[in-house]
Structure 1
């Protein structure tokens, strides 16, 4: 069934509106953080393929190759923990494309360490990326979307938004903070037409851990048995959920923690 946008008035029918998935983001401007690899890159690919103009942000130098794969995508290198990065990225979207409709807060870091071995630096680093940086981008996006008359903020969270991860004190706390930020954005944004949601993802097979494990993908894939589906997620599967929540198909969804965890929290 082809998705359709919501009626603009209670009496308007959508039966005559042609709206295909390939064009569902036509005329929309999106900003994606953590865009160079994994879920972020897959999200850029989907948004671009479905008609959005995209600003892609990442600290990794390989970000610069994205326009070769996705013509028209605007890239910006920057550290999301710096307030100025968020301001600069949103300003780039407004200057280049005229506004901002969608923010995908995807950049993040993880850490597995017993609570007694978790240092103040560990805690501050995880909070800076997963909570503080996402807050900066959400705040700046919120301002631009308010001027635009509405928008959608979607964040990549974790099943640890709702359940504990042993040896994950800093990570779980940071993702819990992101979930609560999402709910506040939804409450404040509702009257302004701004929706906010978070995807509570299960384990995803990416190079997310490559900064401290050379076998990142294989290690993450080893958690398959923890999920009732018997496997971990592919990045594109999480990107699909992020894009759904950003789309008109989710027009009445806001303040939600949407599980895309292979059933891991059902156990």
Structure 2
């Protein structure tokens, strides 16, 4: 369907060199978009771009940047705009987690999580805004979490940051609606990634508790995110803004 066709569009995916980010990037590329993978690990980003080109047949580039730093963000967005001539969709997916009880969390660790997860989304959204306004519109999609809804005793900073992501999403959606820029959030459920592997190793019984609650009966794979990403990047979602869309296999719906 043309409503979901991204041919001729450019999508920027921060943290797109692995896990959920790469799953979204591959889906966007399969729908026709050119992809800019933005990450701190240059080698990993180049490998991801090569994978996207090989598997989806789309143009993909790797841009090295720390998206929690304003100067890096401005440089990266300028480079992407120069390479592709336009920026149609931004996926703010970069993020980190530090798992500690809140009483053991230092202020520096708290700030690291906030900068990587929330400040980065603000900076990158702000940087692409002029491009999207000039083009007559665009799409911004922020990656939240189940902890956008639930608290977390072992990841207070992460949960707080993901709650903030939903409020940032709503605020940007309202601010930029007149510019025909739709801003939405995706709330991934429990995905089988490097980040959640570390959580399962650190938190006894986490895997079993999570699996028991997922209606689909399995942890999600990164490619389970592709459909939602394409929908929110495409003309099919032109009248959808300010939402937080769970992609969780029924986790939120389960008592």
The equivalent of 2:110 in structure 1 is: 123
Measured after TM superposition, the shift of residue 63 of structure 1 is 1.2
Higher-Rg structure is 1
Measured after TM superposition, the shift of residue 221 of structure 1 is 4.9
State whether residues 206 and 220 of structure 1, in contact with CA within 8 Å, keep that contact through their aligned partners in structure 2. Answer: no
Measured after TM superposition, the shift of residue 129 of structure 1 is 0.5
Structure 1 unpaired stretches of 5+: 6-20
The equivalent of 2:98 in structure 1 is: 111
The equivalent of 2:195 in structure 1 is: 208
TM-score (norm 1): 0.85
Structure 2 unpaired stretches of 5+: 54-58
Tell me, yes or no, if structure 1 residue 260 matches structure 2 residue 247. Answer: yes
Tell me, yes or no, if structure 1 residue 28 matches structure 2 residue 12. Answer: no
Instruction: Name the CA distance, whole Å, in 2 between partners of 1:208 and 1:239.
Output: 19
The equivalent of 2:22 in structure 1 is: 41
Measured after TM superposition, the shift of residue 47 of structure 1 is 1.6
TM-score (norm 2): 0.89
Question: Runs of at least 4 residues of structure 1 off by over 4 A?
Answer: 212-216, 219-222
The equivalent of 1:241 in structure 2 is: 228
The equivalent of 1:170 in structure 2 is: 157
The equivalent of 1:51 in structure 2 is: 32
Structure 1 residues 3-152: aligned runs within 5 Å: 4-5=2-3, 24-60=5-41, 61-71=43-53, 72-152=59-139
Instruction: Name the CA distance, whole Å, in 1 between partners of 2:145 and 2:199.
Output: 20
Deviations 1:18-56 (A, max 9, x none): xxx5xx101111111001111111222122222111111
Structure 1 residues 212-223: aligned runs within 5 Å: 221-222=207-208, 223=210
**Cα RMSD (Å) of the superposition?**
2.1
The equivalent of 1:18 in structure 2 is: none
